[in-house]
Amino acid sequence: MNRKSKARILIVDDEMLTREVFRRYLEDEYDVDTAESTNDALDKLSTNIYHIAMTDLVMPGQDGLYLLKAIKQKWPQIAVLVISGRATIEMAVEAMKQGAEDFIEKPVEDFELIKIVIDRILKVRWQTEEIRRLRTMLEKEFISKKIIGNSMAIQKIMEKVKKIAPLETTVLLTGETGVGKELFAELVYNNSLRKNNKFVVVNCGGLPETLLESMLFGHKRGSFTGAVRDKIGYFQEADGGTLFLDEITETSASFQIKLLRVLEKGTIRQVGGDKDIEVNVRIIAATNEDIEANVKKKKFREDLYYRLNVIHIHIPPLRERTEDIILLANSFVKEFAEKHNKKHINLSEPVKSILVTKEWKGNIRELRNAMEHAVALASHNKILPEDLPESVYDYATSNNGMFSGQIIHLPYAEAKETFERHYIIELLKKYGGDVSKAAAYSGIKRQNLYEKFKRYSIDPAEYRE
């Protein structure tokens, strides 16, 4: 399905009037079909393609829970929306446990809520399908392991990597800390002719010149204190493969001369050695600094810069490709939900709003850490603002955050309560005091909402129209 085509929805209810009311209201935007029983629905599911099944829970014969389980077993790609007025709380809870996307009580007074829920489900499904489509497309052409992103910037980088990966040219990766330069270096390596040989990573930053030289070129026994035996360096270890030199601008001027000689001659000399050793290594270098500015300031050798900068790939910061933020966050949530054994957990809409507005100075690394923190603390099936790290939560409540200019800076505990109270009030205003709609949108269970009403002395009736 793509976003321009009509989604196909199957409405399952034993009451003909209910089926027709839903059909008339939804058929202007969706391709709607109906079924009067679970068996009727299973027959239609076997012969047609649907994106969403809306089902009552209490029906004669096999009930809606039976249908839900059958759909999740045979057609897991179909989202299930449960709508019922006669179901018990236990049945509703069981439906959510079995994988229902949402539960809405009958009678439905505001049909716009149905469309809101459907559109939200379809948006998530479309994003999932789009990620799957792009991954399938990329995997046919080249390995794209660990790279997530739909943005134009990432697609352009992918196209560039596809062209240059099979070549033997050196590559220079630039971008802020945390954008994933090592992942893109691996992407080049995995799609190169050298992929069956070693990929060796060296962080050049902060290492003394003598130690870095020994690590890269190797040393002979007795060449310095502590050199008790001969040792080969990373250049020899990566012979026939790829060597990734991260933070290349952190190296000294004298070391840069030695590295330039290696690139020009294809030979190294071990520390304390007396002969040259041939090596066949592809170099990928990376830096988070403005390397051209360093060249102008004489902090980095110009001739080495030109040797490394045969192919330049700049990886933009996360704030310049905001359309990738939710995709990345969802991926991290899935990863950490499995790690912490928390199934069926996802991002609430308020959290998504916070994520896409935050600046993310630490880029993907910061986002990943924030999602692990949120998954670990989450007590609902949706991640809420209060589950986020203090730095992210504080951003949401600051003048640059989600509620700009409405919440003053306070100690964290007070800021958290202020944010939560403000959010709940805004939520009730948005839905005219309707607690069911507020719960459906926010992902906070009705019972928990009422507890928060009591804590903050909030009366939903005050916001009813």
Where is pLDDT greater, at 368 or 144?
A: 368
Identical fold, 8-133 and 148-316: yes
- CA 465 – CA 461 distance, rounded (Å): 9
Long-range contacts at 118-126 (CB < 8 A, ≥ 24 apart): 118/7, 118/9, 118/26, 118/30, 118/52, 118/81, 120/349, 121/52, 121/79, 121/81, 122/1, 122/3, 122/7, 122/51, 122/52, 125/1, 125/51, 125/77, 125/79, 126/1, 126/2, 126/3
- CATH superfamily for 8-133 is Response regulator (3.40.50.2300)
pLDDT interval class at 145 (50, 70, 90)? low
CA dist 42 and 443 (Å) reads 30
Residue from 102, 9, 91, 97 nearest 51 by CA = 9
pLDDT at residue 138 greater than cutoff 60: no
pLDDT at 456 over 80: no
Res 5: pLDDT: 57
CATH architecture of 148-316: 3-Layer(aba) Sandwich (3.40)
Least confident range of 15-19, 55-59, 203-207, 283-287: 203-207
**pTM for this structure?**
0.57
pLDDT tens by residue, 271-329: 888 889 999 999 999 999 999 999 999 999 999 999 999 999 999 999 888 889 999 99
- The maximal CA–CA distance of the chain, rounded, in angstroms, is 92
Least confident of 163-177, 195-209, 358-372: 195-209
Q: What is the pLDDT of residue 134?
A: 54
Q: How many angstroms separate the CA atoms of 317 and 319, rounded?
A: 5
pLDDT at 421 over 90: no
Strand blocks (E) in 238-332: 242-246, 267-268, 277-278, 282-287, 311-314
pLDDT of residue 412: 58
Instruction: Assign domain 333-463 to a CATH class.
Output: mainly alpha
Residues 305-325: b if buried by 16+ CB within 10 A, e if exposed: bebbbebebebbbbeebeebb
Query: Can you give the residue ranges of every domain in the chain?
Result: 8-133, 148-316, 333-463
Report phi then psi at 221, rounded to 5.
-55, 130
- Which pLDDT score, from 0 to 100, does residue 413 have? 62
Phi-psi region of 368 (alpha: psi -120 to 50; beta: other; left: phi over 0): alpha
